[in-house]
Amino acid sequence: AKEVGLLDADIYGPSIPKMMNLKGNPELTPKNLMRPLKNYGIACMSMGFLIEETAPVVWRGLMVMSAVEKLLRQVDWGQLDYLVIDMPPGTGDVQLSVSQNIPIAGAVIVSTPQDVALLDAYKGAEMFRKVHVPVLGLVQNMSVFQCPKCKHETHIFGTDGVKDLAKTLGLDILGDVPLHTNIRETCDSGQPVVISQPQSDAAKAYHKIAMEILRRLPVPPA
């Protein structure tokens, strides 16, 4: 088994505490480092642990970059095999701060197939290339909706948007995540579908993506 950490770098809208069913303030180690909160075997750190749940964060760039640096440098992550960093959409201060502070093994771009979202995805991929972060591939989110009653499939956000973008950027598609009520419900209840419904098609979609990402990452030292 691999040791995995999850860093919620979305300073303005941290969602990992809710999705991972965690709340409370991190304890401090004797060296004054924050201890991540842990659930489902994953060590998590988020701005959401440090501010009130409903408090809006109204910060300028330098404050955001300082917060990201604290979450990276002032946390006792222990011995991790992988640190997954959840970033907000776009190409702002968070992405720049992370890419300047630590060597990133690879970035994954997640997008729905609609044109408005694909514009952000394209900019994100190009930004990572400019700061010399390898882009491992694209993930198509909310790719298809299947009616639970009649089983008819509807491509609410379009069909080939991510595929076309992958071709334009010369990247692979790592997998598709369907638009499914179970995914929304389990995220909102803090019981991720891969834990609460591991045999479901939705969980299998996430598992496939995880395996594709691992295949493309450099092998960590033993």
Report if residue 191 sits inside a domain: no
Q: 3-state class of 123 per DSSP?
A: helix
Report if residue 139 sits inside a domain: no
Overall domain count for the chain: 1
Tokens of 195: 């834990």
Report if residue 148 sits inside a domain: no
Please give the pLDDT value at position 59. Answer: 67
Give 92's pLDDT tier (boundaries 50, 70, 90).
Answer: confident
Report if residue 201 sits inside a domain: no
Report if residue 37 sits inside a domain: yes
For range 167-184, the mean pLDDT: 92
Percent of the chain with pLDDT over 90: 57
Report if residue 22 sits inside a domain: yes
- Domain assignment of residue 13, given as a range: 1-102
DSSP letter at 26? P
Do the Cβ atoms of 4 and 43 come closer than 8 Å? Answer: yes
Report if residue 16 sits inside a domain: yes
Report if residue 76 sits inside a domain: yes
Q: What is the pTM of this model?
A: 0.88
Domain CATH number, residue 29: 3.40.50.300
Do the Cβ atoms of 111 and 138 come closer than 8 Å? Answer: yes
Intra-chain end-to-end CA distance of the chain, in Å:
13
- DSSP of 191-212: --HHHHSTTSHHHHHHHHHHHH
Q: What whole-number distance in Å separates Cα of residue 110 and Cα of residue 116?
A: 13
